[in-house]
Amino acid sequence: MNPATTITLALTGASGMPYALRLLESLLEADRTVYLLYSQAAQIVAKQELGLNFPSSSRDLQLQLRERYTHLTGSLKVFGREEWFAPIASGSGAADAMVVCPCTMGTLAAIATGMSDNLIERAADVMLKEQRKLILVPREMPFSAIHLENMLKLARLGTVILPANPGFYHHPKTVQDVVDFVVARILDHLGVPHQLMARWGEADI
């Protein structure tokens, strides 16, 4: 698998914002270029789960996050939901891969049906039509038959459905250890090296 050097990261309104911010940090630490998208619901979740105020202006959020991660070498560009001239809105400017983390069932359904009503959905649609890697990280339970049918439809198109379901065989001691388990699996599928946790067989379990 060729490692992804440009990654679109979309944040939606499902619970699980710690996964998203840890993933963003890890990608920038690995010197990747990240195109960040976020929904209005994601702003609410970021405030509720992490106490972070994501401004509605994509330019303001870009400044805020660049200041937060100023010590990291990767490149970050934030786009609003209606910025249709963003490169990721077209196959000619598509990123190497896209991750929706966390992914709501509404976003998943919209992607499965090709809605493309906003830049998050359009960027995912571009990934599918260009046959590039698309990873969806749903955080929902239980799944309804509709959810499962939509996931199966996308899986058959090559989408990686990677639920935020951490394992415990590595004996996590903190919440951060639990978060890192899921983020490590996402990074593995992107071909991005990391030191978040040992792979199976590399250390005593």
Q: Residues forming the annotated binding site?
A: 13-15, 39, 104-107, 139, 169, 185
Kindly provide the b/e burial profile for residues 72-96, where b requires at least 16 CB atoms within 10 angstroms of the residue's own CB: bebebbbbbbeeeebbbbeeeebbb
Element (DSSP H or E) covering residue 135: strand 133-138
Residue 136 exposed, middle or buried by CB count within 10 Å (0-12, 13-18, 19+): buried
Q: 117 CB contacts (<8 Å, ≥6 apart)?
A: 110
Q: How many CB atoms lie within 10 A of CB 70?
A: 8
Other CB atoms within 10 Å distance of the CB of residue 50: 13
Contact 7, 98 (CB under 8 A): yes
Q: Residues annotated as binding site for FMN?
A: 13-15, 39, 104-107, 139
Q: Which residue ranges are tagged as binding site for dimethylallyl phosphate? A: 169, 185
